[in-house]
Structure formats: C-alpha cells, structure tokens
Amino acid sequence: MIELTQKSIQHWLPMREPDAHKGDFGRLLMIAGSRGMMGACVLACRAAFRSGTGLVAACCSPSLFSDVHAGVPEATCVSREDFDPGRYDAVAIGPGLGVSEENHALIVKLLQEYAGPVVLDADALNCLSRYGAPSTETIRASLVLTPHAGEAARFFGVSPADIGADRERFGLDLAQRLQAVCVMKGARSLICCPDGTVYENATGNAGMATGGSGDVLTGMTASFAGQLAAQGAKPAVAAKRGALCGVYVHGLAGDLAAEQWGRAGLMASDLADYAALALQSIDKFCGTD
C-alpha cells in the first residue's frame, strides 16, 4: 500500500502557465441534481471551480437552471435532453441525480459512447447496482468510482459493516470488475486501481463526516481529471491522477477548514471553498521543495 503525500501530489497536479486561458483548465460536464437535491449539484460545481476547472456546465432539467445560477453563477447549464459529452474534457455524474431506469439508461449510454474520464458517484453508482453495469468490453470511458460503504455494499449484496471491515479487498474487487479506479471513501480513504495498486490517504478528519462532503469530492476529482485531460494526459492517466489529487486535496481542504471552524461545525461548502487554499498551500510547499 502506498501512502499519498504532498510531495507525490505536486507532480500530478495540473500545470498553470502564466499565459494560460480557461480552455487550458478543462471543460467539465456535471450531470447532477434533481428537484429537492440541487444542493448536491451546486456543491460539486463549486468544488470543481475552486479546484481550478476553467468551465463547468451543469446538466439538469431546465426547470432547475435557476437553482444552479443562484448557487454557482459561474456555471452554465445544459438540458439532459440536449447535450454533447464530446465537447467536454471530463464528465461527472451522480450527485443528487435520483435512481431510475431513465437515469440508468443515460449512464450506460455515456459510458459506452464517451471516451474521456468519467467520475461516478452517489446515485450513478446506485443505478448501476440496482439495474446492472454494462460489460467492460463495451465501456469506452476511463472510470473513477467514489462509493461510500453503503454504496459499495449494494454492489456486493453485503452490509456496510462488511465493507468497512475489508475495504481494500472490496475496493480492488470493484476496481477490477469495472476496470476503474475505485475510491473507497472513509477515514484514510483508499484509492484502488485495477492493476492491484492501492493508495492510502492521510489527510482529512472526522469533521468531514457531513452531508455533501462526497459531492465536493466528486467535483474536485472530476476537475483534476478534466484539467489533466485538457493538458494532454491520456484519459486513463487523467482519471487515475484526478482521483489521487482529488482525494488528497479534499482531505487537506478539510484539515484547513477544521483549523478555522473546528470539526463539529464543518460544512461541505467549507470544503469546496478551502480547496483553493489547499492548492495554495501545496504551491507554497512546491516552491520550497
């Protein structure tokens, strides 16, 4: 098992040249949210911007566009009935999405037709566990899965306690089953790769056990994957490094936010905003390395 460190992360983060423009930092499609659950979409989009993405498009029902604009005015909106994933450097799908056959069909179509990095979280994972995942032979996307213990348990038909007792084994099984990078969320999150490599994250704290924290991780992970893809990384490389950077920076943001607010009062929106300060602290570290 390999421990994630700030020194390793500095070599995987996207570059920011002085003469860069927003297109150099990726175009991200965020397929998320539903009535009553648009906060998940807003948190994920906000986290993506705070992690450096140049452009974020929230993909949801037109009746919910105003919720996005109110929560994150920097984002654009596209309808789920009329979008082209090929225009984007990475796609995230799942936060607040809802579990339905219609959403399952959308997910399968995306995985089979889109060839870039895709982050699957929350209800995207729940849709696949309920209605079935496509065979790996038909999947073109480079996948990152971000299940918590409950979502992983649904894949295997076991209890969340079973998952928690052996996260590494289940994470590697899921990674190999879907040929995906699998982030097993929790204290000292594990990033399991289909080649058998496992990374353990040391950042983060108990204050991050709050609603919306996973949505923020989705936004960060997809952000880094999209930026790396826009800067020329192959989709599989962008997906893996996006997951590693996302998990580490997410935890570091939580640590910095806890220093300011304490653990008990930490909110997911704090994590999104402190992502920028986490990246700033890594930049300072790099400057002295």
User: What confidence tier does 212 reach under pLDDT thresholds 50, 70, 90?
Assistant: very high
> What percent of the chain has pLDDT above 70?
98
**Which among 47, 70, 77, 84 is positioned nearest to 219, based on CA atoms?**
47
> Is the pLDDT score of 161 beyond 70?
yes
At 141, phi and psi to the nearest 5? -70, 155
CATH class of 2-288: alpha beta
> Is the pLDDT score of 2 beyond 90?
yes
For 151-184, b/e burial (b = at least 16 CB within 10 A) is: bbbbbeeeeeeebbeebeebbbbbbbebebbbbb
- 289 vs 279: CA distance, rounded Å: 15
User: What confidence tier does 56 reach under pLDDT thresholds 50, 70, 90?
Assistant: very high
pLDDT in tens, 229-238: 999 999 999 9
Q: What is the pLDDT of residue 71?
A: 97
Element of type H or E holding 162 = helix 160-165
Helix/strand/coil for 180: strand
For the residues 84-102, what does the mean pLDDT come to? 97
Residue 36 identity: G
Average pLDDT score over the chain: 95
pLDDT in tens, 7-48: 889 889 998 888 888 988 999 999 999 999 999 999 999 999
Q: What is the pTM of this model?
A: 0.96
For the residues 225-253, what does the mean pLDDT come to? 98
Six-digit token pair at 104?
A: 């399952």
Q: What is the pLDDT of residue 286?
A: 56
